[in-house]
């Protein structure tokens, strides 16, 4: 049994003016093929897929040359069509050269946006299908912040989506993909799918599955999977910051040869979300920067520390509005990680920056209107180190500066979401030396700052103006999306999916009581 493995993943913030290019995916180690690709993400989708696939006797995995993640993460806009064609063209050529294949596994995201290609993941599946033929099985794994509709499953057979936010279950979904793909190739599983898109458009920061409103929908999906053998329920929350035709919430249901069951569950999930549509927007408080820093000062005085200030809306990493408020309001004992400024990092590298050097530079801002203005920081170089993570990220230069009243600013060349206080340790910074930690993160920070009880106060925050990652998505300059077709931007919508009839019910198995 021969299974081709490939990857092409990007969460595209299409409102950013910087296009995503070939160079963003090209660095030491990327693109990767063969075993290097198969081992590229041992704790993610790929790791789970490879582990389970290799538990089956006679399975050969063929790593097709694929780009790894963009060095800029999601801090760039539309992929150029040349970028998409460059990498997809190489994948298709290798599939042709190394085939035939019984199956294909694709590690995707779901929120990629490409100039000139409306639905890039579905288009990739279409091109792969042309090569491998009608009898091969195609499976993929996705991030829940994907914008998907029924088109992907016109060409692919199986899709498995992470359920939690923060994303704890990527490895598990990779395992599921491998097991079900092998079963399908052997004839033991006959994928039958149904897709529904309730017209709900929500910003990412509200989608935390630690809140009851969102977790109740995830739990309903898990209940269906527990109740009915061989059922898989994908809940795509949607990604409002990609201006694409398939934006918004989506449910995909896969059964083993039971189309009626797939349709029933898909309708049930879509209507469950629709009934809760108002609650999905009411469970998370977001403060404006000025108010958040004022609240942090109150919490500091009351001893409710550590405090996390999470700027959820900064999509470039360069935004300085929160840093400005911290400085203007005299917030003390604060670790700010990070403000991105590649130009400043390059200048510091050229000067041979070292610990103890005096520091006086304007940092951040300027790259676009959402980043605000540069903020002048005067202090002393506190640390000089490599970056956080692996590969290209680890080889970066990061510099921290001590300023104000025991405040430290970490400057990175690109945006970085700090998801765990221990991430500062490799930089030579002990987070326990601070009472406030200001980070750029929407929800992922909760895995290291909230789920374990570390932070006593958490304040989500965004600027006065509705920039890029804002909760006020109706203010964004959509060109391909009509927000008035979605709740809550149009509260008069009357939604009911085709074939929805809750009174019809499902036949129960009497032997199960």
- Maximum Cα–Cα distance across the chain: 77
Chain mean position to CA 281: 19
Chain mean position to CA 311: 16
At residue 505 the predicted structure's pLDDT band, cuts being 50, 70 and 90, is low
Helices of type H across 186-258: 212-227
CA distance 331 to 404: 9
Phi-psi label, residue 356: left if phi above 0, alpha if psi -120 to 50, beta otherwise: left
* DSSP state letters, 1-63: -EEEEEE------TTSSS-B-GGGG-BTTBSB-HHHHHTS-TTSHHHHHHHHHTTSTT-EEEE
pLDDT at 503: 77
pLDDT in tens, 349-360: 999 999 999 999
Helix (H, G, I), strand (E, B) or coil at 270: helix
Q: Among candidates 457, 422, 460, which has minimal Cα distance to 439? A: 460
At residue 513 the predicted structure's pLDDT band, cuts being 50, 70 and 90, is very low
For 2, the enclosing helix (H) or strand (E) is strand 2-7
Q: DSSP assignment, residue 188? A: S
pLDDT at 511: 41
pLDDT at 501: 85
pTM for this predicted structure: 0.93
Average pLDDT score over residue span 449-466: 96
At residue 35 the predicted structure's pLDDT band, cuts being 50, 70 and 90, is very high
pLDDT in tens, 276-335: 999 999 889 999 999 999 999 999 999 999 999 999 999 999 999 999 999 999 999 999
pLDDT over 70 (residue 392):
no
């Amino acid at each position: 049994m021969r299974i081709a493995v490939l990857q092409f993943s990007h969460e595209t913030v299409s409102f950013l003016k910087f296009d995503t290019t070939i160079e963003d995916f090209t660095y030491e180690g990327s693109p990767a093929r063969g075993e290097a690709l198969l081992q590229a993400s041992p704790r993610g989708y790929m790791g789970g897929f490879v582990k389970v696939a290799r538990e089956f006797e006679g399975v050969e995995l063929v790593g097709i040359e694929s780009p790894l993640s963009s060095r800029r993460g999601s801090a760039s806009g539309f992929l150029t069509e040349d970028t998409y064609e460059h990498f997809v063209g190489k994948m298709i050529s290798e599939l042709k050269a190394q085939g035939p294949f019984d199956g294909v596994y694709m590690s995707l995201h779901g929120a990629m946006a490409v100039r000139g290609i409306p639905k890039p993941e579905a288009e990739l599946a279409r091109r792969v299908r042309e090569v491998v033929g009608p009898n091969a099985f195609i499976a993929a794994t996705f991030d829940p912040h994907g914008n998907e509709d029924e088109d992907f499953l016109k060409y692919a057979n199986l899709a498995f989506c992470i359920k939690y936010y923060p994303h704890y279950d990527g490895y598990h979904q990779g395992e599921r993909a491998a097991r079900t793909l092998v079963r399908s190739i052997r004839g033991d599983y006959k994928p039958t799918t149904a897709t529904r898109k309730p017209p709900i458009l929500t910003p990412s920061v509200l989608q935390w599955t630690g809140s009851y409103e969102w977790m109740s929908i995830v739990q309903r999906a898990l209940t269906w999977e527990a109740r009915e053998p061989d059922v898989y329920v994908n809940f795509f929350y949607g990604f409002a910051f990609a201006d694409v035709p398939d934006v918004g919430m989506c449910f995909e249901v896969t059964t083993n040869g039971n189309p009626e069951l797939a349709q029933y569950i898909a309708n049930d999930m879509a209507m469950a979300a629709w009934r809760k549509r108002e609650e999905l927007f009411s469970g998370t408080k977001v403060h404006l920067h000025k108010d958040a820093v004022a609240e942090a000062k109150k919490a500091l005085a009351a001893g409710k520390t550590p405090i996390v200030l999470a700027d959820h809306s900064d999509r470039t990493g360069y935004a300085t509005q929160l840093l400005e408020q911290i400085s203007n309001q005299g917030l003390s004992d604060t670790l700010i990680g990070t403000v991105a400024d590649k130009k400043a990092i390059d200048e510091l590298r050229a000067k041979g920056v070292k610990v103890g050097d005096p520091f006086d530079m304007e940092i951040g801002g300027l790259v676009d209107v959402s980043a605000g203005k540069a903020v002048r920081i005067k202090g002393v170089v506190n640390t000089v180190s490599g970056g956080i993570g692996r590969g290209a990220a680890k080889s970066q230069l990061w510099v921290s500066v001590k300023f104000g009243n025991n405040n430290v600013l970490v400057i990175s060349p690109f945006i970085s979401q700090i998801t765990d206080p221990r991430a500062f340790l490799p930089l030579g910074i002990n987070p326990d030396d601070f009472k406030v930690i200001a980070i750029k993160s929407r929800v992922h920070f909760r895995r290291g700052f909230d789920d374990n009880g570390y932070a006593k106060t958490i304040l989500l925050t965004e600027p006065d103006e509705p920039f890029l990652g804002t909760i006020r998505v109706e203010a964004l300059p959509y060109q391909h999306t009509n927000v008035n077709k979605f709740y809550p931007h149009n509260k008069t919508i009357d939604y009911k999916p085709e074939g929805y009839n809750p009174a019809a019910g499902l036949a129960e198995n009497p032997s199960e009581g």
